[in-house]
């Protein structure tokens, strides 16, 4: 069986280092591993519109930002198909048929939908399109016969919903669709990178994000004002590692060899943590190290971004070509789906002949 990746993001803002370490970096590694036959990365604009119906301009402006973030992170359009969801009408058609296989109560039990409804205070005034987006997301995955969906933990309920649709579809209409597996981030730190203020998650509205497109100076300033241990006041005070954002970021980003380069008095992160916990290590020193580590990661990304920024029409062209290629694949799957459901009347010579016979032709 061929191995196919599909994953994506809603274009509601630029991507930050949480997206990078939780997913983007892995996608690039998977792309370069050569282990996958096809890789599709979707800019999920139609999904973004399910809760931004009154603000399509936000979605429209952010498609290019997300595309630039993808390309600058190292997604290579020669190896990876980057597509815009709304440009694949076959996805909508598929969703229509999958909707018949999912109950309202099942959607109400989806933890992601549940928590997003609470967060956005939609309560009973949820747009139907938002309520049903797990089904639309199932189409995103199934249209490409994806075997693997690299994504964060928050997407697990979506993948489970997708798998249920596959089982239901295959049992009703015959083996047609493939059950995908989620591929979660490897390290705990990468799974849930907190905001610079130590809050649970990076979010634009909290102003606690470090963006991939941030300048060197912005990154430095954000690191220098990061949340650490509020009880670590004097350098000599013992400090806490748990909930200390600077150390969480070091867990996610630092490599042992970087100690030799930037902090040779420590052999590795464990030694640095130990000293911090004992007392005698100041926040500024740790933050400066984190700055070196993060700048090393972000510098090549920034450089690639500047190159792509010089040819925006070219980037739109990459998206157009990717969407066209993706559309072909989705059309083939839709064809299989309609054939399985036997709603491909005009291709069904047997059906036509049978009815002709019934009427004595």
Q: Which residues bind ligand TRP (CB under 6 A)?
A: 6-10, 42, 44, 47, 137, 140-141, 149, 151, 155
Longest dimension (CA), the chain: 98
- What is the Cα–Cα distance from 172 to 40, expressed in whole angstroms? 28
Shortest distance, position 56 Cβ to ligand TRP, whole Å? 17
Would you say 73 or 149 has its CB closer to ligand TRP? 149
Shortest distance, position 258 Cβ to ligand TRP, whole Å? 30
- What is the Cα–Cα distance from 253 to 4, expressed in whole angstroms? 28
CA angle 249, 227, 115 (to 5 degrees): 75
What is the CB-side half-sphere exposure of residue 40 using CA atoms within 13 A? 30
Shortest distance, position 153 Cβ to ligand TRP, whole Å? 12
Shortest distance, position 3 Cβ to ligand TRP, whole Å? 16
Residue at shortest CB range from ligand TRP: 44
Sheet holding 81-84, edge to edge: 81-84, 38-43, 4-9, 148-150, 181-183
Which of these, 87, 179, 169, lies nearest to 339 by C-alpha position? 169
Would you say 153 or 186 has its CB closer to ligand TRP? 153
Would you say 31 or 155 has its CB closer to ligand TRP? 155
- What is the Cα–Cα distance from 22 to 25, expressed in whole angstroms? 7
Would you say 69 or 140 has its CB closer to ligand TRP? 140
CA 334 to chain centre: 24
Would you say 42 or 326 has its CB closer to ligand TRP? 42
Shortest distance, position 39 Cβ to ligand TRP, whole Å? 12
């Amino acid at each position: 069986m061929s191995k196919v990746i599909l994953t994506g993001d809603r274009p509601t803002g630029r991507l930050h280092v949480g997206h990078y370490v939780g997913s983007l970096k892995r996608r690039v590694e998977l792309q370069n591993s050569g282990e996958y036959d096809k890789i599709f990365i979707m800019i999920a604009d139609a999904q973004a519109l399910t809760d931004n119906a009154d603000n399509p301009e936000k979605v429209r402006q952010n498609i290019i930002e997300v595309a630039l973030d993808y390309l600058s992170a190292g997604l290579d359009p020669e190896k990876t198909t980057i597509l815009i969801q709304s440009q694949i009408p076959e996805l909508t058609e598929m969703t229509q048929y999958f909707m018949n296989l999912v109950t309202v109560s099942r959607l109400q039990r989806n933890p992601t939908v549940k928590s997003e409804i609470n967060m956005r205070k939609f309560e009973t005034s949820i747009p139907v399109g938002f309520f049903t987006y797990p089904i639309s997301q199932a189409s995103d995955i199934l249209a490409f016969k994806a075997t693997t969906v690299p994504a964060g933990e928050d997407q697990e309920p979506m993948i489970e919903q997708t798998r249920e649709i596959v089982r239901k579809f295959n049992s009703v209409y015959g083996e047609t669709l493939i059950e995908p597996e989620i591929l979660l981030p490897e390290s705990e730190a990468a799974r849930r990178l907190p905001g610079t203020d130590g809050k649970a998650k990076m979010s634009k509205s909290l102003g606690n994000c470090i963006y991939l497109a941030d300048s060197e100076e912005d990154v430095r300033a954000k690191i220098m004002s990061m949340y650490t241990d509020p009880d670590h006041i004097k350098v000599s005070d013992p400090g806490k590692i748990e909930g200390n954002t600077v150390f969480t970021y070091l867990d996610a980003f630092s490599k042992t060899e970087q100690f030799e380069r930037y902090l040779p008095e420590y052999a590795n992160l464990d030694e640095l943590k130990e000293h911090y916990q004992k007392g005698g290590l100041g926040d500024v020193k740790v933050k400066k190290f984190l700055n070196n580590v993060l700048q090393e990661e972000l510098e090549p990304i920034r450089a690639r971004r500047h190159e792509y920024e010089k040819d925006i029409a070219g980037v739109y062209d990459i998206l157009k070509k990717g969407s066209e290629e993706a559309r072909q694949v989705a059309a083939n799957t839709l064809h299989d789906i309609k054939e399985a459901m036997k709603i491909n009347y005009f291709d069904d010579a047997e059906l036509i002949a049978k009815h002709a016979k019934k009427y004595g032709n």
